[in-house]
Chains A and B, each alone.
Chain A
Amino acid sequence: MKKHREMIFDILLIVIILLVLIPTLLGGIGPLPPREIRPLAKAYLNSTLNIYNKDLWTASPEAVAAIVWDYRGLDTFYETIVFYTAIVSCLILYREILGKRDISKGEGLSIVVKRVTAISLLGILVVGASTVLHGMLTPGGGFQGGAIMAVAPVIAIVVFSRLLVDTSRLSYSKVVTFRNLAILGIALTALIPIILNFGNAFIFQNQYKRSINFSYPAHILDVPMGGSLWFLNLFEGLAVLMAFYLAFNIILYSEEVSKEVILGEEYGY
């Protein structure tokens, strides 16, 4: 039975490779490598920092950030909601032990590791914050900075042991509140043009459009700011950091405390 299964899977592997390889080599996705970029990409690159034709400009020299938060802003908003829902469903599974003190009294690692980690944790947070804040001028942005900053709480729990998390004042309910406020900030940045203009604007609007008299500021002193891109990057970075802190807090509980969640499952309640 097992040998038959292995043989069928090996044949399936070869069939998958051949089925996709032959149309590609015969020209299925165009000439390889492509000779010209798409007309849509040319339109986006032409209009993102065009001072002569300000109909569709976004005041940011970085084309990828402009596409993610301005030209295709609604896609990014829905993806943020998918991330939010995934972390909420993680919290639902273990809702009885959230915020409880852990039983095991850990001591953490040796004192050399503790002192070195205390210095480098600050460095990680600063690098992540800087990546979030300059995301409209050079490569960077909300997710990138948030993912860099998310490494810090995990290292803190592993090196300093759970006593640091249990005795700090950054409890679980405060972190959930911060996260909800950050997502609310994103929604408000998208809706403020409509509120301030009594319904005569677009959602996720960035700069002046024809006959609509609202725009986020386009320059800070003399540096292009990208309008609403700066605010959206900031809120997104904070939301991602809080989300990872919550998820890793649940994974790293000890076994005795976590077994209370499935107590009584064999009776059906």
Chain B
Amino acid sequence: MLEETIFIIIGLISMISVLFVALAIVSKDLLKAIMFSAVQSTLYAFLLFLLMAPDIVLVYIAISVGLLPLISIVLIKKVGRYEKA
């Protein structure tokens, strides 16, 4: 019973993350793309926790939800926020 519940949650989370990846690639406002990619990284971190890999969860959360959106937002500030239509 517990085993089937965990497998069902693994399947549902990976199917929801496809939606966020599609939204991140299609949107024209780059700040929204960064926010969608940060939400998708949180879903991946939960997926890695369910797959019993605790070392990787620590590295992944510190980098993908902390460092990469930060340097991407600094990049957008210096370069330009909207993609050309």
Contact = CB atoms under 8 A, between A and B. Distances in A.
Contact between A and B in the complex (any CB pair below 8 Å): yes
Interface of A: 64-65, 131, 139-141, 143-144, 147-148, 150-151, 154, 244, 248, 251-252, 255
The B interface, classified by DSSP as helix, strand, loop or mixed, is helix
B74 A252 contact: yes
A227 B67 CA distance: 32
B58 A139 contact: yes
Contacts of A141: 55
Given A131-B58, A139-B58, A140-B58, A147 B78 contact: no
B58 A144 contact: yes
Q: How large is the interface on B (under 10, 10 to 19, 20 to 34, 35 or more residues)?
A: 10 to 19
- Of the listed residues B58, B70, B71, B78, the one surrounded by the most CB atoms of chain A closer than 10 A to its CB is B58
A143 B54 contact: no
Contact of A248 (B62, B71, B78): B71
A144 B67 contact: no
Contacts of B63: 147
Contacts of A150: 62, 67
B59 A144 contact: yes
10 contacts: A64-B55, A131-B58, A139-B55, A139-B58, A140-B55, A140-B58, A141-B55, A143-B59, A144-B62, A154-B70
